[in-house]
Structures are given as structure tokens and as C-alpha cells.
């Protein structure tokens, strides 16, 4: 990806899920610096308010905060109508929120936990697409970006890997449906990033050996830009 320039998202309306920490937080701050009007969704109200304060102090447009748990699917269904009434469109959707689930032999995973992880990683994103697709099509250049992972199978990672593989396939099918529209849908596979999820998976790892979320935001700006015509791709930005 080429180095982005300030203001590339000026005037664009962007919704980011999982915005209160990690990649979502870094993308929110970067989008704000690029001129976007932000809709920030997270279940953690306090962290959203802290992010709101930081964005305002740094000169970004006042974000709209949406405290919401992705497992509350009915609220996602209602989101599209609410945003349509207020804005009439949506330019950018970043489906970043995700759940690691337990790293465990597959036979040890409880059905309830399996379902909850798929609900967050797959079904919630389906409900977001279903709710927000009409708004993205109202934009002159709607852009949908989702965070996934590499497809390599690993012992004990069945739940996370399976749910992300399902997300990837779903988004690529959606992208194929968008070919004759102004909307583009893609995925980013960031690889190891300094985050709470990474720490949970690898508690003994030195986080300072990993890239920070801020170091990967160029790719999110590129895929969100009006100029970008990539569609249905998994952008692998793992370090070589």
C-alpha cells in the first residue's frame, strides 16, 4: 500500500465496530485524522467516551457513539433505518469487532460458546450487511471492510479459524454481488498485532515485538478511499 495523504476521507461517513480498543480504535483515530465523520460502535461505554475525547482534542469531527453489544441482533437490524433517517447514506463500514473464543480441542468446546463466537464473528456481520447495504448503495462510493485471519489450520484454533473462514467466504460472495454497483467489499488479514486478543492467545509473548495497531491503518484508509476499486479480496498485510 502506498503512503496515504491527510484528508483522503474528508466528508465520508464511517461506521466502525469494535472501535473502543485495538485495531478498531487505531482505525477510528486514523479515519478522524483523514477527515471522516465517525460512528463508533462498541459495548464498552467508558472506552468509547475516552476515544471520543481524544478525537475531539486532536481536532477530529465530533464522533457519534453507539454503545451496543453485537450479540443484540435486533439492534443491528434497526441501525440501518436509524442511520437512513439521520444521514440518508453510509460511505464506509468497518466490521472489526471479533471474538477469539477458547483455544481448545474441538471436542471440548461447549455448543453455547461455539454459537456465541460465530454470532459475533459471522452472524453479526451478516446482520450489519443486511441492514446497511442499502445505505452503502446510496453512497457514491460505498466501501465495506472486514477483519479476518489467515486460512492456515492450527490445532486448538478450530473455532476462531472456522468462524473467520466463514466470514471471508460470506464477504467475498457479497462482493461478487456488488460488481455492478458503486460499493466495494474487501477483507484485511493483519497478522500478529499488539492487542488484547493477541495477549489472550499468547500470554507469554513480548508485545513490544509486535506491530502496533496504528502501524497498519494505511491499508484501511486505502480500501475506504473513493479511488479504490479492489473488490472481493483478502489483503494480507502480515509482516514477511
Q: Which sequence positions are flagged as catalytic?
A: 160
Contacts of 160 (CB under 8 A, 6+ apart): 99, 100, 101, 103, 117, 121, 149
Pairing of strands 234-236, 13-17: unpaired
Cβ–Cβ < 8 Å for 44, 25: no
| DSSP code at position 182 | S
User: Residue 1: helix, strand or coil by DSSP?
Assistant: coil
Question: Angle at the Cα of 163 (from 126 to 79), degrees rounded to 5?
Answer: 25
User: CA–CA separation, 137 vs 173, rounded Å?
Assistant: 17
Nearest to 132 by CA among 173, 172, 82: 82
Measure the CA angle with vertex 118, ends 112 and 123; round to 5°: 125
**Nine-digit cell at 236?**
494480507
Cβ neighbours of residue 80 closer than 8 Å, sequence gap 6 or more: 131, 132, 134, 135
Q: What grid cell was written down for 101?
A: 473464543
DSSP secondary structure letter of residue 13: E
124 within 8 A of 70, measured Cβ to Cβ: yes
Amino acid at each position: 500500500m502506498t503512503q496515504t495523504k491527510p484528508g483522503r476521507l474528508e466528508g465520508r461517513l464511517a461506521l466502525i465496530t469494535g472501535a473502543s480498543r485495538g485495531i478498531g480504535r487505531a482505525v477510528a483515530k486514523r479515519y478522524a485524522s483523514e477527515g471522516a465523520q465517525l460512528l463508533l460502535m462498541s459495548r464498552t461505554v467508558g472506552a468509547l467516551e475516552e476515544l471520543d475525547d481524544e478525537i475531539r482534542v486532536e481536532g477530529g469531527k465530533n464522533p457519534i457513539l453507539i454503545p451496543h453489544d453485537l450479540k443484540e441482533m435486533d439492534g443491528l437490524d434497526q441501525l440501518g433505518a436509524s442511520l437512513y433517517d439521520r444521514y440518508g447514506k453510509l460511505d464506509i463500514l468497518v466490521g472489526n469487532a471479533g471474538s477469539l473464543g477458547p483455544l481448545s480441542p474441538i471436542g471440548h468446546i461447549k455448543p453455547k460458546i461455539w454459537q456465541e463466537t460465530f454470532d459475533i464473528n459471522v452472524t453479526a456481520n451478516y446482520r450489519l450487511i443486511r441492514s446497511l447495504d442499502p445505505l452503502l448503495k446510496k453512497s457514491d462510493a460505498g466501501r465495506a471492510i472486514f477483519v479476518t485471519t489467515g486460512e492456515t489450520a492450527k490445532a486448538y484454533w478450530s473455532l476462531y479459524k472456522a468462524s473467520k473462514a466463514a466470514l471471508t467466504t460470506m464477504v467475498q460472495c457479497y462482493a461478487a454481488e456488488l460488481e455492478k454497483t458503486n460499493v466495494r467489499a474487501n477483507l484485511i488479514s493483519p497478522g500478529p498485532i499488539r492487542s488484547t486478543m493477541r495477549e489472550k492467545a499468547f500470554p507469554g509473548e513480548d508485545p513490544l515485538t509486535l506491530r502496533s495497531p496504528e502501524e497498519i491503518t494505511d491499508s484501511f484508509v486505502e480500501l475506504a478511499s473513493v479511488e479504490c476499486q479492489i473488490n472481493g479480496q483478502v489483503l494480507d498485510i502480515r509482516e514477511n
